[in-house]
Amino acid sequence: MLDKIINKMIHLSKLLSKNKIKIILLFALFFGIPNHSNAQKKGNLKTISFGENEGDYGKEYDYIAIGYLNNDQFIENEVVTFLTNRNHKLADTIVSGRFFYENGNSYIDGIWKKYEFEGGNRITRMIRCQGIFKVSNNKNGIGITINRKVGVKPIIKSITNTSYNLEILDSELKLKTDINNIEEAEINSNIFEDYILKSKYVKLTFKNGDLFNGTVKINTEYSQIPTNYVPNYGEYKYYTGEVANGEIYYSDVFHKFLLYKGSIIFNDGSIDNENWLEKYNFHYIEMAKMYSNNKSLTEIRNKAKSIGVEKEKKIQEKKILQEQLMEKIRQNK
């Protein structure tokens, strides 16, 4: 049976011209054999610039978009990134993450960033938010266009019923919190303030290693702390080991965040209240010296105790001398 099939194929090949055989082979290659390279290909990675113009140092543009394109559209579930003007030193990510469509809108599941500057190129504050964002650079606010002639400034909005992880980094500390009740609004530097102030779980990491977890407030009182948010009520862990629980404030005299009302745990495990140092009745100049000369609150407490004992000893000695003097006066009378 097999011999008959082979003979028929040989006979058929003799009847066909070389050109016809080539056509049959090409047909088999394109339609009969799977093209694995095309099946695995995700599209072409493209960089699209928007708002191009000629500047003093060559070509400039408002922003760029980078992502995989297929049929003049970004491919779903691939990373799309919007960047600021690359020709400037201040260029950075606007929004970047996994791109997808839903109900005609375009979304990016990733990270939004914002840098704030002071005096030229000096960065004073960075805001970083992770979550799902509605993104559009169309005039109608729907979808993402790759047409550089009609593309407008990207509008990035938050989504209701979506959890966002917020991080703010400034010169003194890093703030982290989760936002779960945000309303749909265009993302900007000020949109998060109300949510941060309402949050009960804000984490502050200070440059010196101190940690705070709790509620925060706007810094309107402490001129020596160049940060927008400061501890209000919660747990403050000093890098030296002590832990304060309660209402926290910043002392411009002692240059530290201190306990205003609550309790403090010292390194030896002992617990005291907010008056742990004031009860020794030191003048604030003496207290300022102790804060400046000692690293930890435990050291200050121990120092205060020893000074307090010495003071009490001197008081008692003075009292005894006064009593002896009074006794001599009575005897002379």
DSSP string across 76-116: TTSEEEEEE-TTSTT--EEEEEEEEEETTEEEEEEEEEEEE
pLDDT band at 91 (very low <50, low <70, confident <90, very high): low
Residue 265 pLDDT exceeds 60 = yes
Give the mean pLDDT of 120-138.
87
Quote the CA–CA distance of 199 and 192 in Å, as a whole number: 11
Q: 20-52 pLDDT, tens per residue? A: 333 322 222 233 333 333 334 468 899 898 887
Which of the residue ranges 52-56, 88-92, 125-129 would you say has the lowest mean pLDDT?
A: 88-92
Interval 119-144 mean pLDDT: 86
Tokens of residue 194, six digits? 């109300």
How far, rounded to the nearest angstrom, does the alpha carbon of residue 173 sit from its chain's CA centroid? 11
pLDDT at 297 over 60: yes
pTM here is 0.75
Q: Does 60 have pLDDT greater than 80?
A: no
pLDDT in tens, 188-232: 888 899 999 999 999 999 999 999 999 999 988 877 788 889 999
- H or E element in which residue 238 lies: none
Number of H helices, E strands in the chain: 6, 18
Could you tell me what percent of the chain has a pLDDT over 70?
A: 78
Mean pLDDT value of segment 315-331: 73
Q: Does pLDDT of 132 surpass 80?
A: yes
Q: What angle do CA 176, 179, 183 make, to 5 degrees?
A: 145
